[in-house]
Amino acid sequence: MTMAEKTRLRLDRALAQIGLGTRKEVRALIKKGRVAVDGEIITDHGFILTNPGEAAVTLDDMLLTLRKHTHLMLNKPAGYVSAHKDNRFPVILELIAPELRYRSLTSVGRLDRDTTGLILMTTDGELAHRLMSPKYQIVKTYHIIYAGRPFSEADREQFRLGIMLEDKTVCLPAELEILDESDVLLSIKEGKYHQVKRMLEATGRKVTYLSRLSIGELTLDPELDIGEYRLLTEEEISGLYASVKLELEEY
Ligand code: URA
């Protein structure tokens, strides 16, 4: 594939990719003459943008930013697995509209089937890789409800020093914020298998509810109901790229 071919992009696809609507909805907008490229109204949905990075694409005179990658946040419901396919349980991808999942959306880390909350999905593999890499120590914060003896100041110190799991692995320092006697927030910088549950187990407690609230600076939008998702804002996207020292690519 030559460079010239690589950057050619169908107008309807470009607009669906930034979340303007389904492929069908986007085509209807184009047909109605609401979309212009470089000042010229385009009514053919198969129109090809030969240089999407340079084109000024507008919807009703509003200038749109075309992005090479798609990034979204999902409020994961319990019962769904963080995988592309599963024989027994529904997968998180089923919650995403087809026009956003035609390219491979990768989830940044996994949540257990019974865990709810923030899942970040992106088509940028390098961004996903860096956000999960121990090198960047991205902090993930979880809301936990647990069974067992209420946490104390001494426990907080223990988490700060590094909890030793039952298999003798020592965790990186973590921040425990006590909300009440069975409710805490825990911020960790790594993503070992069942890490939060195992950390609490190592202190003799059992997680009864687990929900992820944030990944780095990205916080779960409180407007998102369980099972809902939305595309990230420009500000959220640039914050994520900056946090892992990655240049933000457009076209
Ligand atoms: N830690 C866990 O134990 N489970 C999750 O789903 C996420 C972090």
Which CATH number fits the domain that encloses residue 15?
3.10.290.10
Q: Are residues 110 and 10 in the same domain?
A: no
Atom 3 of ligand 1, nearest CA residue: 194
* 95 within 8 A of 103, measured Cβ to Cβ: no
Asked if residue 251 belongs to a domain, the reply is no
For 29, the domain range is 3-63
Q: Are residues 177 and 225 in the same domain?
A: yes
Atom 2 of ligand 1, nearest CA residue: 194
Point out the domain boundary residue: 63, 94, 111: 63
Q: Are residues 79 and 52 in the same domain?
A: no
Q: Are residues 84 and 144 in the same domain?
A: yes
Q: Are residues 87 and 203 in the same domain?
A: yes
Which pLDDT belongs to residue 6?
56
Atom 7 of ligand 1, nearest CA residue: 111
Q: Is the pLDDT of residue 61 over 90?
A: no
Which pLDDT belongs to residue 53?
79
Query: Catalytic residue at 225?
Result: no
Range 92-99 average pLDDT? 87
How many domains does the structure of the chain reveal? 2
Ligand 1 center from residue 64 Cα (angstroms): 37
Ligand 1 center from residue 5 Cα (angstroms): 42
Point out the domain boundary residue: 41, 63, 85: 63
Range 217-222 average pLDDT? 97
* 213 within 8 A of 220, measured Cβ to Cβ: yes
Q: Are residues 125 and 55 in the same domain?
A: no
Q: Are residues 127 and 172 in the same domain?
A: yes
Buried b (16+ CB within 10 A) or exposed e, 153-177: eebbebbeeebeeeeeeebeebebe
Q: Are residues 155 and 201 in the same domain?
A: yes
Asked if residue 166 belongs to a domain, the reply is yes
Residue 83, domain CATH: 3.30.2350.10
Which pLDDT belongs to residue 4?
43
* 243 within 8 A of 189, measured Cβ to Cβ: no
Confidence of residue 21 (pLDDT cuts 50, 70, 90): confident
Please write the tens of the pLDDT for every residue from 138-153. Answer: 999 999 999 999 999 9
Point out the domain boundary residue: 19, 39, 63: 63
Ligand 1 center from residue 199 Cα (angstroms): 10
* 75 within 8 A of 228, measured Cβ to Cβ: yes
Asked if residue 160 belongs to a domain, the reply is yes
Which pLDDT belongs to residue 130?
96
Q: Are residues 180 and 120 in the same domain?
A: yes
Q: Is the pLDDT of residue 221 over 60?
A: yes
Q: Are residues 136 and 227 in the same domain?
A: yes
Ligand 1 pocket: which of 115, 192, 206, 220 to mutate (most atoms within 8 A of CB):
115
Ligand 1 pocket (Cβ < 6 Å) reads: 111-112, 115, 194-197, 210
Contact residues for 203 (Cβ-Cβ < 8 A; gap 6+): 148, 151, 155, 158, 163
Give the amino acid at 64: L
Give the helix/strand (H/E) hosting 218: strand 218-219
The catalytic residue among 112, 155, 183, 221 is 112
Backbone angles phi, psi at 98, to 5 degrees: -55, -35
Q: Are residues 49 and 95 in the same domain?
A: no
Confidence of residue 69 (pLDDT cuts 50, 70, 90): confident
Please write the tens of the pLDDT for every residue from 157-213. Answer: 999 999 999 999 999 999 999 999 999 999 999 999 999 999 999 999 999 999 999
Tokens of 116: 């709810």
Which pLDDT belongs to residue 70?
86
Q: Are residues 181 and 209 in the same domain?
A: yes
Nearest atom in ligand 1 to 199's CA: 3
Percentage, residues of the chain above pLDDT 70: 96
Ligand 1 center from residue 194 Cα (angstroms): 4
Range 219-233 average pLDDT? 96
Ligand 1 center from residue 206 Cα (angstroms): 12
Which pLDDT belongs to residue 63?
87
R_g of the chain computed on alpha carbons: 21
